[in-house]
Structure 1
Amino acid sequence: MNKIRTFLVKYPIVAATIVVLATVLMLEGAGQYAIGRWIATIYVVGIIVWTAIGMIRDILRGHFGLDILAVVAMAAATWVGEYIAALIIVLMLSGGEALEDYAASRATKDLDALLKRAPQTAHRLSSDAPNATVTDLPVDEVVAGDLLLIKPAEVVPVDGVLLSAEAVFDESSLTGESLPVTHTAGERILSGALNSEQAVHLRATADAASSQYQQIIALVQEAESAKAPTVRIADRFAVPFTIVSLAIAGIAWWLSGDPVRFAEVLVLATPCPLLIAAPVAFMGGMSASARGGIIVKGGATLEALAKANSIAFDKTGTLSHGEPELIRAITANGTDEDELLRLAASAEQYSSHVLAAGVIDAARARGLALSPGTDAQEIATNGVSATVDGRRVVVGKLAFVQAVDPAAEAVPLEPGQTSVAIAIDGRFAGTLLLADALRDNAPATVDALRKLGLSEIAMLSGDNQQTADALASQAGISTVHGALLPQDKVRLVSEMPGPTIMVGDGVNDAPVLAAADVGIAMGARGATAASESADVVIVRDDISRAARAVEIGKHTYGVALQAIWIGIILSLGLMLIAAFGLIPAVIGALTQELVDLAAILYALRALSGGRSKLPTDAAAASRAQSPAPSRAS
Structure 2
Amino acid sequence: MGSEDTARWSATVWVAAFITWTLVGMVGDVLAGHVGLDVLAVVAMVATLAVGEYIASLIVVLMLSGGEALEQYATRRAKRDLTTLLDRSPRLAHVLTRPDDAGSAETRDVAVADVRVGDILLIRPSEIIPVDGVLVSSAGTFDESSLTGESLPVSRVSGDHVLSGVVNGTGAVRVRAERTSDRSQYQQIVALVESAQASRAPVVRLADRFAVPFTAVALVLAGGAWIVSGLPERFAEVLVLATPCPLLIAAPVAFLGGLSRSAKAGVILKGGGVIEQLARVRSAAFDKTGTLTQGRPRLTEVRPASPFDADEFLRLAASAEQYSTHVFADTIRRAATERGLTLRAAEHADEVATLGVSAVIDGREVVVGKPGYVAEVAPETMPITLHGGEAAAYVAVDGRFAGALVLADPARLESAQVVRWLRDHGVENIVMLTGDGPSTAAAIADQVGIDVVRSDLLPAQKVEYAARMVPRPLMMVGDGINDAPVLAAADIGVAMGARGATAAGDAADVVVLVDSLTKVVEAVAIGRHTLRVAMTAIWIGIGLSTALMIIATSGAIPAVAGALIQELVDVATILYSLRALGGPGARTVGLSTRERVAAGETIDAGDPSRTTR
> TM-score, normalization: structure 2?
0.72
CA distance in 2, matches of 1:206, 1:620: 36
Question: What residue identity is the alignment partner of 1:42?
Answer: W
Aligned to 1:556: 530
Aligned to 2:350: 377
CA distance in 2, matches of 1:379, 1:97: 48
- What's the CA shift for 1:259? 3.3
Aligned to 2:413: 440
The question of whether the paired residues in 2 share the 8 Å contact of 1:347 and 1:376 is answered with yes
- What's the CA shift for 1:407? 1.6
Quickly say closer, same or farther: Cα 1:488–1:74, change in 2 above 3 A.
Answer: closer
- What's the CA shift for 1:280? 2.0
Work out whether 1:495 is the aligned partner of 2:441.
no
The question of whether the paired residues in 2 share the 8 Å contact of 1:159 and 1:205 is answered with no
SS of residue paired to 2:29 = coil
- What's the CA shift for 1:90? 4.3
CA distance in 2, matches of 1:362, 1:281: 50
Work out whether 1:400 is the aligned partner of 2:367.
no
SS of residue paired to 2:456 = coil
Question: What residue identity is the alignment partner of 1:361?
Answer: R
- What's the CA shift for 1:45? 2.1
Q: Note the residue ranges of structure 1 that are not aligned, 5 or more in a row.
A: 1-33, 113-138, 147-157, 162-203, 208-227, 624-633
Aligned to 2:116: none
The question of whether the paired residues in 1 share the 8 Å contact of 2:522 and 2:584 is answered with no
CA distance in 2, matches of 1:325, 1:237: 55
The question of whether the paired residues in 1 share the 8 Å contact of 2:516 and 2:601 is answered with no
Aligned to 2:511: 537
SS of residue paired to 1:346 = helix
Give 1:286's match in structure 2, choosing from 246, 259, 264.
Answer: 259
- What's the CA shift for 1:574? 0.8
- What's the CA shift for 1:488? 2.6
Aligned to 2:40: 69
Cα displacement string for residues 489-536 of structure 1 (whole angstroms, at most 9, x for unaligned residues): 222212210221211122222222222222222222240222232222
Quickly say closer, same or farther: Cα 1:93–1:330, change in 2 above 3 A.
Answer: closer
Quickly say closer, same or farther: Cα 1:260–1:311, change in 2 above 3 A.
Answer: same
Give 1:598's match in structure 2, choosing from 541, 564, 572.
Answer: 572
- What's the CA shift for 1:318? 0.9
Quickly say closer, same or farther: Cα 1:438–1:238, change in 2 above 3 A.
Answer: same
The question of whether the paired residues in 2 share the 8 Å contact of 1:40 and 1:87 is answered with no
Aligned to 1:60: 27
Aligned to 1:120: none
CA distance in 2, matches of 1:94, 1:413: 64
CA distance in 1, matches of 2:203, 2:9: 33
Question: What residue identity is the alignment partner of 1:572?
Answer: T
CA distance in 1, matches of 2:460, 2:535: 37
- What's the CA shift for 1:617? 4.8
Give 2:443's match in structure 1, choosing from 451, 466, 470.
Answer: 470
Aligned to 2:340: 367
Aligned to 2:558: 584
Quickly say closer, same or farther: Cα 1:579–1:461, change in 2 above 3 A.
Answer: same
> TM-score, normalization: structure 1?
0.70
The question of whether the paired residues in 1 share the 8 Å contact of 2:18 and 2:61 is answered with no
Work out whether 1:45 is the aligned partner of 2:19.
no
SS of residue paired to 1:525 = coil
Quickly say closer, same or farther: Cα 1:95–1:465, change in 2 above 3 A.
Answer: closer
Quickly say closer, same or farther: Cα 1:495–1:476, change in 2 above 3 A.
Answer: same
CA distance in 2, matches of 1:372, 1:260: 86
CA distance in 2, matches of 1:351, 1:422: 14
* Identity over aligned pairs, percent: 53
- What's the CA shift for 1:619? 4.3
The question of whether the paired residues in 2 share the 8 Å contact of 1:230 and 1:278 is answered with no
Cα displacement string for residues 143-174 of structure 1 (whole angstroms, at most 9, x for unaligned residues): x969xxxxxxxxxxx9448xxxxxxxxxxxxx
CA distance in 2, matches of 1:361, 1:527: 20
CA distance in 1, matches of 2:465, 2:583: 31
For this pair of structures, how many residues does the alignment match? Answer: 492
SS of residue paired to 2:498 = helix
CA distance in 1, matches of 2:377, 2:565: 80
- 1:159-558 residue pairs with structure 2 within 5 A? 159-160=151-152, 232-497=205-470, 498-558=472-532
The question of whether the paired residues in 1 share the 8 Å contact of 2:11 and 2:55 is answered with no
- What's the CA shift for 1:459? 0.7
CA distance in 2, matches of 1:485, 1:441: 27
Quickly say closer, same or farther: Cα 1:68–1:423, change in 2 above 3 A.
Answer: closer
Q: Note the residue ranges of structure 2 that are not aligned, 5 or more in a row.
A: 82-124, 128-139, 143-149, 154-166, 171-200, 603-613
CA distance in 1, matches of 2:44, 2:3: 20
The question of whether the paired residues in 2 share the 8 Å contact of 1:542 and 1:618 is answered with no
The question of whether the paired residues in 1 share the 8 Å contact of 2:298 and 2:331 is answered with yes
The question of whether the paired residues in 2 share the 8 Å contact of 1:452 and 1:551 is answered with no
CA distance in 2, matches of 1:289, 1:140: 34
Question: What residue identity is the alignment partner of 2:365?
Answer: R
CA distance in 2, matches of 1:315, 1:463: 8
CA distance in 2, matches of 1:307, 1:412: 42
CA distance in 1, matches of 2:396, 2:508: 36
Question: What residue identity is the alignment partner of 2:268?
Answer: I
Work out whether 1:565 is the aligned partner of 2:531.
no
- What's the CA shift for 1:414? 0.6
CA distance in 2, matches of 1:467, 1:617: 26
- What's the CA shift for 1:231? 6.5
Question: What residue identity is the alignment partner of 2:28?
Answer: R
- What's the CA shift for 1:327? 1.3
Quickly say closer, same or farther: Cα 1:160–1:530, change in 2 above 3 A.
Answer: closer
